[in-house]
Every structure is written in structure tokens, then in C-alpha cells.
Structure 1
């Protein structure tokens, strides 16, 4: 499995940046904008944006840690201390059955590199105006499909990069980066 260490602070500030650009939004739109930014960062720079593990869910990829943070913001607590600690950066309200999230603090731009901001800005421009169904269809790419068919809920970063059109050289580089990151997990 190709794994990376989740940069939890960067994940929060990337989401805050997206919300700063699009305004109050449902979880789905934020998650898909981040997913496409992750793909573009992998394809262009050989490493993920946040390292959050993406789960292949019914309506497309969902970043696991950030989902826990949003749920903690909505419910006021979480079984995961790290999610609860970061949940104060967001406010969640409901429009009918749809949870809507907004950032309550400004993104810390020191948490985001120039390449991070580049891919986030591109992803917001390309995906920020898309409707729910359009985002579902677009995010049901080959990486999502492979995880879904294999009944693996966690999507592979290598498959995400491949779905984004990364070159074979970049895929090799990503694989090497993942091995280096995984070795720090033990």
C-alpha cells in the first residue's frame, strides 16, 4: 500500500483556503475540490498535498481525517482527539439534511506552500462551480473505481496519480516517496 503521513494542520488550512474561496459549502464540494488538488499535486510534484487518506465512498473520494474534523465541528466532539482539537476552525450548520461548513478562522498561509496554493487555486477554479452530480461523476475516476471494485475503502495515491495522468517517471517517483514516508510510520 502506498501511504503518506497526513499533515493534519495542512489539511485543515487547505480546507480553510477552499472555504475562503467558495464560501459556505457542503462537505462534498470541499472534499472533491481537495481531491482534485491532491491529484494535480501528485501529477505535477510527485507528492500529495495533505497526505490524508481518501476513502472511496458512494458519492466519491472523502479525506478521512478532514471528515473526522468536520464531524467533530458538527457534533462538538469526536473519539479522535486530534480531530476535536482542530474542529474549532470550522462551524457546521444544517440546510435540511445537508451539513454546511464554513471556516471561522483565516487559513494560515504559512502552512501552504506555493505549489499547494497553485493546485488549490486551480481546483477551486475548475470545480468550485460544479453541481453535486457533476462532482460525483468527475470524481468517480479509475482510482475510485479500482478501490470500489476491490472493496478497498482506502484509495491508493498511486492510483490517484495514475487517474490524473501522471507519467510513468512520476509514478515511480511517487512510489519511492511513499516508501520513504512509510518507513517513517514504523
Structure 2
């Protein structure tokens, strides 16, 4: 279960992307901007932009919580909590030419995003906005996705892409990978307290 703070950060990230793609965006563009930005933030700073786990799906990495919220907007899954409802209330999903298009109903709370978050999101919004959806999908089929996808094919269940694997596939140094591992270990230890 995500905390209110984690959901607010995911919401701010999604709304930031949508504010910069004014006419709305399909799921693939939204998810790939989120993935590539998350990956680069891990490589450069050793920390994620947001706490949304990426699953290895057919068309590349999919942010699990964001996707579930969008599916709730489509009426395909139930809204699980008041926190998720606050997230779904910020978005619209419409079908345009057979594609789900996401638009914002609220403005992004910039207090939720750091300067490094914005810098990297801006970079990936610019890089992805004019690329065809399936080309983005192909670009996201990196080593981290392949590893998790192979595992999901063995188990028949969606498999999370680890932050370590995501950062390694993005070219993180051994030193940065060790920082990421240490931060993840400390985070898990604190969650057990």
C-alpha cells in the first residue's frame, strides 16, 4: 500500500508530464517518459523520482500504481482508497481514435518535485513527445525490462523491474549502484520498524 506522500509524488509527476503535453498523452508516452526519467534519476542521483514500481509488460515498463489508477478511471478496477481517489480525481481518460488519452483535471503541485526531478522530466518529455508510441515501446525494451519480462513469462505473473536493474541498464556506475542498493536496504529496514 502506498502512503499519502508517495501517492502525492506520483500524482505530481504525472500531472507535470501532462501539463507539458497539453493535448493529452496516450498511456505509452506517459509511461515511457516516467520510466526513462526514473531511470536517469537513478543513474545520476541514486534515487527515484517517485515510488511507483515498474512492471515488465508487453509494450515495455508500466508504472503499476499509475496504471491501476488509470484503469480505475476506465471503470475496469475499483478505486481502493481515498488516496487513490484523490489521484484519479486529478485525471481524465478519454478514448480518441481507439487510444486511451490522459489529460489533467488539476495543476501539478510543484512543491512535490525537486529541481533534479523537473530537470530530468523536462529532458524526457522533450525526447519522447514526438516519437511514435511503438518506437518508444521498443526503446524501453532494455536489459532491465528483458530480465523482468523473462521472469514474468516463467511465473505467469507481472514482475517488477528492480531499481538496481533499471539503473544498471541505464549505465549507472558501480559506485552509484552500490548507493542505490544501500538506500534500498536502509529503506526496507526502516519500514520494518
TM-score by length of 2: 0.89
Residue of structure 1 equivalent to 2:61: 61
Q: Which residue of 2 aligns with 1:132?
A: 133
Aligned length in residues: 183
Cα separation, 2, equivalents of 1:159 and 1:185: 22
Runs of 5+ in structure 2 lacking a partner? 153-157
Alignment equivalent of 1:161, drawn from 138, 162, 167: 167
Secondary structure of the residue aligned to 2:103 is: strand
Alpha-carbon distance, 1:128 to partner: 1.6
Deviations 1:93-148 (A, max 9, x none): 11243111101111000010101101100111111211111101100000000101
The 3-state SS of whatever aligns with 2:95 is strand
Q: Where in structure 1 do 4 or more consecutive aligned residues deviate above 4 Å?
A: none
Q: Which runs of 5+ in 1 are unaligned?
A: none
Match of 1:13 in 2: 12
Q: Following the alignment from structure 1 to structure 2, what is the Cα–Cα distance between the partners of residues 179 and 128?
A: 35
Distance in 1 between the 2:40 and 2:122 partners?
A: 11
- Corresponding residue of 1:185: 191
Residues 121-179 of structure 1: CA deviation (Å, up to 9, x unaligned): 01111112111111011000000001011226111110000011000000000000111
Partner of 1:36 in structure 2? 36
How far apart, in 2, do the equivalents of 1:131 and 1:10 lie? 27
The answer to whether the Cα contact below 8 Å between 1:72 and 1:87 also exists between their aligned partners in 2 is: yes
Three-state SS of the structure 1 residue aligned to 2:89 is helix
1:56-92 deviations in Å (ceiling 9; x for gaps): 0000000011112222223297242132231000011
Separation in 1, partners of 2:91, 2:49? 20
CA-based RMSD of the aligned residues comes to: 1.8
Equivalence for 2:155 = none
5 Å matches for 1:94-133?
94-133=95-134
